[in-house]
A = this chain, B = another copy of it.
């Protein structure tokens, strides 16, 4: 997905604790950065993820995919581009591209799939309509 299809991004700086003995950011950290992106993405809408939780929703991650295209190094500033690319019933999907700002290299891309569940019963529940609409208009 070309970068100009993303309308939202959030920046992270690679922490020393996130590197490994190969001298690069560890492959599991990219899922953490995806998540930082999602939280920040939702923060633009009425109360964000905490607001959703307070309304009785919880979002589960049900699938994740990362392509590691180039190593990311300690102290690199990475721009996590993301978009909510699909909402269908209880399910939704995000696409990502992670760009190093210093040289505009895409270090990783991928996607995650999620399900909205009721916070107490943990049963799948419809994605809140107001948020689906807000996202739809933000992504168009």
Contact = CB atoms under 8 A, between A and B. Distances in A.
Interface of A: 15-17, 19-24, 26-29, 31-32, 35-36, 39, 48-50, 58, 60-68, 71, 74-75
Contact of A32 (B15, B62, B68): B15
A35 B62 CA distance: 20
Interface of A is mostly: mixed
B62 A68 contact: yes
Contacts of A16: 20-21, 26, 35, 39, 49
A23 B17 CA distance: 11
A66 B63 contact: yes
Contacts of A61: 27, 68
A51 to B, nearest CB: 11
Given A21-B16, A31-B31, A36-B15, A75 B63 contact: no
